[in-house]
Amino acid sequence: MLNEYLQTAPHATPFYFPEQSRQPKTFRRTIDIFLKDSNATGNTYFSRYFEWQGICREQWYYQCLPFALVQSLGVFVTKCAHLDYAHETFPFQQVECRLNAFDVKQCSLNLLFRFYVGETLVCRGYQKLAFVGHDKKIRRLPQELTDAIKEYEDPELSLFE
């Protein structure tokens, strides 16, 4: 009897719960500008932004990725770094660095850095990174590491805004 009912009963469409649109995370780090970061006229040295890229990247590694896994398997090597300066900054301002990943591949990734004073974009740049083993050979990113990086991947961002 149950079989007859199942064969003749209208079949209900199973509930469908679309995957909620994932909001990518953005890593944020505030940096204070001091006199040592500027020239005699008070403008921040351009080179400081490269230094700040490195600081933000390392803080992101440590706070947001499975750092022990990264250390046990290899290191990230910077293939290239780029900056576009947009607006001058001065001592005693605070700069917020916003970091996102993009174009994550099997053995490499890109990081986008945006530096703001308030809501004013003052500099933006990127780094291309490769993952290498302790033997200095390029290695595939472990899935656990790729998953953690992809939480910060924002397909809406572009280098060319």
The pLDDT tens digits along the chain (161 residues) read 444 544 454 444 444 344 445 688 999 999 999 999 999 999 999 999 999 999 999 999 999 998 888 888 999 999 999 999 999 999 999 999 999 999 999 999 999 999 999 999 999 999 999 999 999 999 999 999 999 999 999 877 766 55
Phi then psi for residue 33, to 5 deg, are -95, 130
Residue with tokens 């770094």: 81
C-alpha triplet 122, 127, 130: angle, nearest 5° = 165
Q: Give the pairing of strands 74-85 and 27-32.
A: unpaired
Residue 109 C-alpha from the chain's centroid: 9
8 Å CB contact between 155 and 21:
no
Q: Which CATH superfamily is domain 26-150 in?
A: Hotdog Thioesterase (3.10.129.10)
d(CA 161, CA 150): 21
